[in-house]
Amino acid sequence: MILLIGGTGETAELASALAGAGFDVLVSTATEIPLAVGAHPKITRRVGALDRPGMLRLATKHGVRLIVDASHPYATSVRANARRTATQLKIPYLSWMRPPALDNDEGVIFRENHQLAAETACSFDVPVLLTIGSSKVAPYVTAAKQAGVELVVRVLAHRDSLEACLQAGVQESNIISGRGPFSVEENLAVLRRYKIGVMVTKDSGAAGGVPAKIEAARLHGCRVVVVQRPKGPDGQTFSDVSELVAEVVGAIGHEKPPKG
């Protein structure tokens, strides 16, 4: 059994590729994101956030032989837990990481953390749009109140995400829910509707819709503040599905796919 820690749009592709190579795959995601794998007999799924003890129990219960970590590039705690679980169980750990979509010549403002990003974004005396998820909203709410600027937040259409924004102090009328990646036109419509002057985002890669956000901001004429990616895991990371599957085969042996 392979434990695939999901969270990115490539999760379904990775699960299907691993199952196609003959491996049983347990996909774990924190939320009930759509997973387009059909009713594949070698793919099972569980939903819900896992701390390290929970991940260890899960891997032990299912006899996991290898962990593939395809969690979000910014999910540092999840990645740390997955690596530590693999180390404790003495099984291979493979990291899937989307390549970044931006570099320092993209004409955007990079900040090392959310606190600095919040202070910068709210310093221009214009409405701010957050496209960073719901877990780190609080610093922006505080900075927006101090600066007297309007704050708009776009998050997943998930109860926990909406509640996190409300608890942080975001006005309900300023919460936009949906599932990306969003097109240039969809991003532009939000920027125009709320007269946004600064967009805050993370570099979740091209698959995360970053290029479309940047292009919409350019067309609208608003600034973009990007929270820099955290330092990646030590060792090799993969961004090619066939290379990752080949590494899995090399690590725990080849299994023939089922006939038919």
Q: What percent of the chain has pLDDT over 70?
A: 95
- Residues in CB range of 180: below 8 A, 6 or more apart: 208, 209
188-210 residues labelled b (16+ CB within 10 A) or e (exposed): bebbeebebbbbbbbbbbeebbb
Q: How far apart are CA 100 and CA 211, in angstroms?
A: 11
* Domains contained in the chain, CATH given: 2-97+232-252 (3.40.50.720), 109-227 (3.40.640.10)
Closest CA to 213 of 156, 130, 149: 130
> What's the pLDDT at 235?
67
Average pLDDT over residues 149-167: 93
Q: Which of 195, 247, 201, 197 is nearest to 223 (CA)?
A: 197
Cβ-contact 6, 79 below 8 angstroms: no
Predicted confidence band at 32 (pLDDT cuts at 50, 70, 90)? Answer: confident
Angle between helices 241-252 and 11-20 (to 10 degrees): 50
pLDDT of residue 233: 62
Tell me how long the chain is: 260
pLDDT of residue 7: 77
Confidence (pLDDT) at 256: 47
pLDDT tens-digit readout, 97-156: 888 888 766 689 999 999 999 999 999 999 999 999 898 999 999 999 999 999 999 998
Torsion sign over Cα 133, 138, 139, 141: positive
